[in-house]
Amino acid sequence: MFTTVDNISSVRASLVVALLSTVLLLLWKTYYKFIQLGNRIPGIGVWNLAFGLMNQMPKDGPHVGLLGFLMNFVNSHEGEPCRIWLLNELCVILTKPKDIEVVLGNVKIFKKSGHYAMMKRLMGQGLFTADDFAVWRRHRKIITPTLHFNILKDFVPIFYKQATKLANKTKDKEQVNIFSAVGLCTLDSICNTAMGINIFAQDSDNNTFLQDFYSILKVWHTRMTNPWIMLDLMFNVSRYREIHDNAADRMKYFTNEILHLKRDKYGVNKSGVTVRSESRSTAFLDMMLTCWSEHGLSDTELKDEIITLILAGQETTATVNSFALIMLAYHQNIQLKVQEELDSIFEQWRENDCPSFEDLQKMNYLEMVIKETLRLFPALPIIGRALNEDLQVNNVTSPAGSTVGVFLYGTHRDPDLYPSPNDFNPDNFLPERQSKRSNYSFVPFGAGIRNCIGQKYAMVQMKTILSTLLRRYRVSPGSGSPPLDNLQLMITSSLKPKHKINLSFTPRR
């Protein structure tokens, strides 16, 4: 009898051992394959990084910090796929249009890379950070119609009013900190159009919402450039957590308040019955509350989406509007051409006239200027995806479990695609030149299923703000601003110049 028990337990033991070793073998095989495939891609590895990465982040030159590192790195591999081992994480960097297409054009590659995870603390399952396909698709279906061009038409007067406010503030000013001034204007614009309320950011010098937002961006930047704090475990015990969470809580509280006010206004109760209000505004939130009551979003989902739209729409458009003004300040001949076009659209001097949607459509040259700005200064210089399956890109295989970084900043400055790639030249976007290039040679809004949902919104907003300023003022570099060839760029969540830049606004007449 005892022997039987012994037999059984030894059989059990050997079964367990067999099972364990199979699992280990399988794990090792997958991991081994992962390492092997990764190592076949040209690039740099663990030790270079652990001990030398900081030395490879340029402190000077046209590209500073992480941006400079990435630029040097892809250039030394001639833009072909190249990899970085970040400890056990494999990241493959792509810049060539045909390589980018393989990733962004593939509908099965949906999941964002791990670097987006830190944003989830604030944006939850909002579109930008969502990683559940079914949730994302449902939300995207609900939000897409709120950005329909009929609705964008209604937004023009809102953008115009905020742009006028900015114009009033910059009148005759010799030293306007351009990113700060424009940032307040785009914040007011986005809050107006997202929540249907005015937060008067432009009317005070310290708006708490914007300050909270900036302190969160700072924490994200610190985490991105500091691998230790990137780890949740370390972050949770660091002082950054408190800074982040305090700011995030205030932003969420604020959004919640607005949401409740709106719920009351429209009488949308828990069972989803809507009492339509006559004075319905076209703000995203109002649209989502009134058009989608039955299959609509829960309060948490709505809050995530509103915060996402504000975050994704404020900083990006502030960056591009500011860089456009900076470029025009440094290129007076191009600015004059923009103003000639504007003068021909607004025949008489109509300082206080809001442009019509049709007026905006006529601003072809300004649109080329904006596109050229998006080329040289894409607000999001790199985007990332996580691979669930092995992916063949060009002549390398990026294994399942690795991260792909689409370094679109590098694409936009590839001399094979754009002659003199670092010069500001709106003629790059003459229709005949544009049609000669691959669609994936210009991807400031990403591409494929997770492309930017706000790109039309962004165009309308930027045209309105820029035309309003340029109709009135001649913009020039403020005294003390660096010469153009000393404009140092870096990544701080979005793309920014290293030094603050002042512009001067002189009335044209």
Q: DSSP assignment of 272-340, as one string?
A: ------SS---SHHHHHHHH-SSS---HHHHHHHHHHHHHHHHHHHHHHHHHHHHHHHH-HHHHHHHHH
Is 96 an interacting residue with respect to ligand NAG (CB under 6 A)? no
Whether the CB-CB separation of 426 and 341 falls below 8 Å is answered with no
Residue 61 CB, nearest distance to ligand NAG (Å)? 19
Choice from 327, 382, 458, 501 touching ligand HEM (CB under 6 A)? 458
> Between vectors from CA 266 to CA 126 and to CA 452, what angle results, nearest 5°?
25
Region near ligand HEM per CB under 6 A, out of 20-28, 86-94, 243-251, 443-451? 443-451
Nearer to ligand HEM, 466 or 475 (CB): 466
Nearer to ligand HEM, 151 or 243 (CB): 151
Round to whole Å and give the CA distance between 52 and 73: 14
Structure tokens at 95: 């810049």
Choice from 205, 294, 347, 485 touching ligand NAG (CB under 6 A)? 205
Is 507 an interacting residue with respect to ligand NAG (CB under 6 A)? no
Residue 128 binds which entry of ligand NAG, ligand HEM, none, CB below 5-8 Å type-dependent: ligand HEM
Round to whole Å and give the CA distance between 102 and 97: 9
Choice from 320, 334, 342, 369 touching ligand HEM (CB under 6 A)? 320
Nearer to ligand NAG, 168 or 506 (CB): 168
Round to whole Å and give the CA distance between 192 and 203: 14
Task: Name residues contacting ligand NAG, limited to 460-499 (CB under 6 A).
Answer: 478, 480-481
Residue of 176, 426, 194, 453 lying closest to 322 (CA atoms): 176
Region near ligand HEM per CB under 6 A, out of 37-45, 291-299, 311-319, 500-508? 311-319
Task: Name residues contacting ligand HEM, limited to 89-118 (CB under 6 A).
Answer: 112
Give the count of beta carbons closer than 10 Å to the beta carbon of residue 85: 20
Is 279 an interacting residue with respect to ligand NAG (CB under 6 A)? no
Q: DSSP assignment of 108-166, as one string?
A: T--PBPGGGGGGHHHHTTSTTT---HHHHHHHHHHHGGGG-HHHHHHHHHHHHHHHHHH
Whether the CB-CB separation of 430 and 371 falls below 8 Å is answered with no
DSSP 8-state secondary structure symbol assigned to residue 481: P
Choice from 502, 503, 504, 505 touching ligand NAG (CB under 6 A)? 502
Q: Residues at the annotated binding site?
A: 452
Is 312 an interacting residue with respect to ligand HEM (CB under 6 A)? yes
> Between vectors from CA 321 to CA 318 and to CA 325, what angle results, nearest 5°?
135
Choice from 236, 246, 486, 506 touching ligand NAG (CB under 6 A)? 236
Is 273 an interacting residue with respect to ligand NAG (CB under 6 A)? yes
Is 183 an interacting residue with respect to ligand HEM (CB under 6 A)? no
| Residue 493: partners with Cβ closer than 8 Å, 6 or more residues away | 217, 220, 221, 224, 315
Residue of 222, 284, 234 lying closest to 259 (CA atoms): 284
Residue of 405, 429, 399 lying closest to 417 (CA atoms): 429
Choice from 383, 391, 460, 490 touching ligand HEM (CB under 6 A)? 383
Nearer to ligand NAG, 164 or 321 (CB): 164
Residue nearest to ligand NAG (CB): 480
Residue 395 binds which entry of ligand NAG, ligand HEM, none, CB below 5-8 Å type-dependent: ligand NAG
Residue 75 binds which entry of ligand HEM, ligand NAG, none, CB below 5-8 Å type-dependent: none
Round to whole Å and give the CA distance between 123 and 302: 11
Round to whole Å and give the CA distance between 385 and 371: 25
Choice from 395, 420, 431, 485 touching ligand NAG (CB under 6 A)? 395
Q: DSSP assignment of 335-377, as one string?
A: HHHHHHHHHHHS-S--TTPPPPHHHHHT-HHHHHHHHHHHHHS
Q: Residues at the annotated binding site for heme?
A: 452
Choice from 405, 454, 478, 497 touching ligand HEM (CB under 6 A)? 454
Residues that bind ligand NAG (CB under 6 A): 40, 42, 80, 161, 164-165, 168, 175, 177, 204-206, 232-233, 236, 269-271, 273, 395-396, 439, 478, 480-481, 500, 502
Residues that bind ligand HEM (CB under 6 A): 112, 127-128, 140, 308-309, 312-313, 316-317, 320, 378-380, 383, 444-446, 450, 452-454, 457-458
